[in-house]
Structure 1
Amino acid sequence: MTLPQIDGDELLRHVPMHRAIEAIEQALLAGLDPEADLPRTVLDIDAGQLLLMPSTTSSYTGVKIAGVVPGNPARGLPRIVASYLLLGGATLSPVALVDGAALTLLRTPAVSAVAVKHLAIPEAKRLVVFGAGPQAWAHVEAIRAVRPLASVGVVARRPEQAVTMVERCRAADLDAEAVSPDAVSQADIVACCTTSRTPLFPSSLVAPHTTVVAIGAHEATAREVDTGMVSRATVVVEARTAAMREAGDLLIPLGDGQIGADVVAGNLAELVNGSVETEPSRPRLFKSVGMPWQDLVVAVAAVG
């Protein structure tokens, strides 16, 4: 029996962005508990990192094998390479092999969009995105699916990357321009999609109505937002268990004694089910590290 292989193009045909957002949200509404997900295994190897991400339900089991290779961009290759094996839940017989990089590129912004849908002000129109790579663009697409975006400010390390990202946004009928980090002061939504290990902007600039999404860091020693952002905001994470293992944005100020573990107002399931309260006087922060259940939900939607 030949194992079906789902490449990136086929994945998007089966699960366009709006469908991925819906699948994630519906799974959480149906009772999926992010706290019960299996932990990610991270192995440091010569090339970078090898990540093993398994997840299981009564119907399906799946595992993503991902490599984070810092030297790949200089070779003209993606920084993240991955494969996803979907198995039947009862028999563990192979069901499909999915392009893991494409799956990550789809499910990560879909998860962010679910958070934005429940955190951001309904009239949010101004997005500032840090980063100009594939995840940055995917976040523009995903956030646009849940809020009426009209303009995008792009913050990128390299001017040529910013130009390319701005042109892509304009081609999608969005006003766009390259901006400096202090443009967060004018943002309704901020998306941090970088490999930075240190905060990207002073949190004091962020307005009380703004929602910040930080997805770039999944290590205890790396962060994209500063301590002030965490202490000021209503903080939502995918799962407390995962955040307290991997989210440097939280773990660094926790280790310094500047915040307590009770800084987390809720996880994504609690947010979607309406048990997280926000306050008009406080910005909102969604901190994501990426979890195996998200891959499984979207992979299942691709074969369903």
Structure 2
Amino acid sequence: MKVFDYAEVQARISPARALSLLTSALKSGFEPADDPARSITPVPAGQILSMPAAIPGWAGAKIIGLAPGNTDLPRIDGTYVLFDGPTLQLKAVIDGVALTNIRTPAVSALAATKLLAPGVVDKMVVFGTGPQGVGHARALADLRSVRDCVLVGRDTEKAEAAVAELASMGITARVGSAPDAKDADVIVCATSAGSPLFEAADVRDDVCVLAIGSHETDRREVPSALMSRALVVVEDVSTALREAGDVVMAIEDGSIAESDLHTLKGLVLEEVEVDYTKPRVFKGTGMSWEDLAVAVGMME
């Protein structure tokens, strides 16, 4: 059995490698709709999440603890256990936070490979200055040449720290504010916000939005008015209806219908026609198969 810590996961799985692993899983015949739903168990300090999955040749599960009250300690901690698929013999224990911080931006980047028009991204605005905000900026900079990368957060010091972290990776970024979204080509929503981060009328008609901030049905980062005129892509329809507030609330207020939703697998297999002149929205909540697909890369 192998054990991989945070640094090893970060060093061995680049954004491009994670994207390739996810693509391979989707093209292997695996159906995301068959992925087990995550189990959320309330405990006194917060929640424990269990996310098991199986793809051809492999099985595994991520166990994550969420403690909202933590101040001096991380709010999220956890581990991933990887099994051989045919025998269910334990093969590896992997840092769960590192895996999450890599696979979530990689899923968004996978959607972005199809949702972004060819060429340079003139301006990308990232709402959120935590690991997911930084991870998305890194993943998209790896995918496209980004002329202007702007990070927006509630805490200026944290935003400046995130810009410095990106600089250490060779990525130039700057601290901005919400109005920067008005002329953005790409908007990344990676926050804990419960209400929309911007008004639909304040962003471009051809904007691409990648929203991954929550997996709760009563929270959203994208306004319904934008969803109503956008191509909306989700990881899986049933999962989105169960966990994606951006989707659930837009359906409830009549802005979109379930039939308007397209899947990430359909996008990757080029079964979805993309109109780059209208808004494109990818709403991700995170699925168990994604962790497993990336975890397998640690064994290669």
Sort the TM-score into its range (normalised by shorter chain).
over 0.9
Give me the whole-angstrom Cα distance separating, in 2, the residues matched to 1:77 and 1:135. Answer: 18
User: Could you tell me which residue of structure 2 aligns to residue 106 of structure 1?
Assistant: 102
- Residue 42 (str. 1) matches residue 40 (str. 2): yes
- SS of equivalent residue, structure 1 residue 114: helix
Q: Which runs of 5+ in 2 are unaligned?
A: none
Does the 8 Å CA contact 2:47/2:66 hold for their aligned counterparts? Answer: yes
Runs (5+) with no aligned partner, structure 1: none
CA distance in 2, matches of 1:30, 1:197: 36
Equivalents in 2 of 1:169, 1:104: separation in Å?
18
Cross-structure match for 1:287: 283
* 1:172 to partner: Cα distance: 4.5
CA-CA distance at 1:173 after TM superposition: 4.8
- Report deviation, 1:236: 0.4
| Counterpart code for 2:288 | P
Find the counterpart in structure 2 of residue 55 from structure 1. Answer: 53
User: Which secondary structure does the structure 1 equivalent of 2:173 belong to?
Assistant: strand
Q: Distance in 2 between matches of 1:41 and 1:237?
A: 20
Q: Which residue identity does 1:10 align to in structure 2?
A: E
Q: Which residue of the partner structure matches residue 209 of structure 2?
A: 212
Supply the RMSD in Å over aligned alpha carbons.
1.5
Deviations 1:7-39 (CA, angstroms, capped at 9, x unpaired):
112123332221111111222223222111111
Q: Secondary structure at the match of 2:23?
A: helix
Is the counterpart of residue 4 in structure 1 residue 2 in structure 2?
yes
Deviates more, 1:155-164 or 1:165-174: 165-174
SS for the counterpart of 2:143 is coil
CA–CA separation in structure 1 for the residues paired with 2:266 and 2:85 = 26
**Quick check: 1:206–1:283 contact (8 Å CA) kept in 2?**
no
Q: Counterpart of 1:125?
A: 122
Alignment of 1:190-229 (within 5 A): 190-229=187-226
* Cα distance between partner residues in 2 of 1:85 and 1:37: 17
Q: Name the counterpart of 1:297.
A: 293
What aligned pairs does 1:81-230 form with structure 2 within 5 A after superposition?
Answer: 81-123=77-119, 124-230=121-227
Aligned mates of 1:181, 1:200 — CA distance in 2: 8
Partner residue of 2:63 out of 53, 62, 65: 65
- 1:253 corresponding residue in structure 2: 250
2:76 counterpart of 1:80: yes
Deviation at 1:174, TM superposition (A): 4.4
Q: TM-score, normalised by structure 2?
A: 0.95
1:268 aligned partner, one-letter code: L
CA distance in 2, matches of 1:209, 1:51: 36
SS at match of 2:282: strand
Q: Equivalents in 2 of 1:23, 1:280: separation in Å?
A: 26
TM-score normalized by structure 1?
0.94
Q: Percent identity between the aligned chains?
A: 38
